[in-house]
Amino acid sequence: MKAEYINPFLESARIVIEQVANIRPTTGQLGVKDVKFVEKYIWIQIGMTGQMEGDIVFGLAEDVALKMVSAMMGGFVITEMDEMGKSAISELGNMISGNASTMLFNQGVRVDITPPKIVQSATAAGFIPKKALTIPLIMESIGELDIQVLIT
């Protein structure tokens, strides 16, 4: 797994979050860890095909996701993750991944992304824990968004 695979997603996430939530996130520590779905978390899973195969998974604690959706909706307070909230958080993952795939294309790496899949339950995910290149984005007054790259 190459560390440079995460850079377009990191850069794209910073740009998109700044545009949609008016917050400039800072970068946490890059690392490799076992990805395990945990409860009270929302996961946005996006598949990648082409010259990069695997998944990009964005993880947020439920309270962080609610704050993020509220920020995306201009400060309108969201208290539960309803269909509108899920749609908004899903679109966030889609925008980040779409921009990142364009950046990768400009670097000569051809990839396609699948539509985002929201996973709220560890058991529903059918996901097998595996190692991922991971980096948290810290969003002041909101919390952390974990970007996890599971590319082979």
Say which CATH architecture domain 3-26+33-151 belongs to. 3-Layer(aba) Sandwich (3.40)
Residue 124, pLDDT above cutoff 60? no
Average pLDDT in the 27-50 region?
Answer: 84
Q: What is the pTM of this model?
A: 0.89
Residue 67, pLDDT above cutoff 80? yes
80 vs 125, which has greater pLDDT? Answer: 80
Q: What is the pLDDT of residue 99?
A: 96
Average pLDDT in the 53-60 region?
Answer: 90
Q: State what percent of residues in the chain have pLDDT above 90.
A: 55
Residue 111, pLDDT above cutoff 70? yes
- DSSP string for 58-115: EEEEHHHHHHHHHHHTTT----S--HHHHHHHHHHHHHHHHHHHHHHHHTT--EEEPP
Are 100 and 92 a contacting pair, CB within 8 Å?
Answer: no
Residue 77, pLDDT above cutoff 80? yes
In the DSSP assignment, the letter for residue 80 is: S
Residue 142, pLDDT above cutoff 90? yes
Q: What is the pLDDT of residue 61?
A: 92
φ, ψ for residue 31, nearest 5 deg: -160, 175
44-48, 65-69, 82-86, 116-120: which has the minimum mean pLDDT?
Answer: 116-120
Confidence of residue 151 (pLDDT cuts 50, 70, 90): confident
Average pLDDT in the 102-116 region?
Answer: 93
